[in-house]
Amino acid sequence: RKEVEQDPGPFNVPEGATVAFNCTYSNSASQSFFWYRQDCRKEPKLLMSVYSSGNEDGRFTAQLNRASQYISLLIRDSKLSDSATYLCVVNRLPRVRFGAGTRLTVKP
């Protein structure tokens, strides 16, 4: 079993839709959690950190559930520019674990 698992998608949604991604992790000692975004043929870039209290950045909301060992990302009012692969990242320093990514395509 992979240490970090994501639904690979693809998720195809219309503009304006709300879409949610989940990511589960197996190591309860994991320390910190992130969502990265990767555009086609580009490097991953940090989207947001994930905290137990939940955090919001504009149309993006990230949540951590330590008891159930999953993190989530909610995107509201999807834009065409949100089309990308979203990677969940789980840190248990010095090890960093990336999920394989969930691909999102937002269509007009």
Partner 1 sequence: DVKVTQSSRYLVKRTGEKVFLECVQDMDHENMFWYRQDPGLGLRLIYFSYDVKMKEKGDIPEGYSVSREKKERFSLILESASTNQTSMYLCASSFAAGPRTDTQYFGPGTRLTVL
Interface with partner 1 (CB under 8 A): 4, 8, 32, 34, 42-46, 49, 87, 91, 93-96, 98-101
Rg (CA), the chain: 13
- Minimum Å gap between C-beta 18 and partner 1 is 25
- Minimum Å gap between C-beta 61 and partner 1 is 19
CB 3 within 8 Å of CB 52: no
Nearer to partner 1, 90 or 106 (CB): 90
Nearer to partner 1, 101 or 106 (CB): 101
Nearer to partner 1, 78 or 101 (CB): 101
| Sequence-ordered list of residues with C-beta below 8 angstroms from that of 100, at least 6 positions apart, any chain | 2, 5, 6, 8, 87
CA nearest 4: which of 20, 29, 27, 21? 27
- Minimum Å gap between C-beta 94 and partner 1 is 6
- Minimum Å gap between C-beta 2 and partner 1 is 8
Nearer to partner 1, 14 or 28 (CB): 28
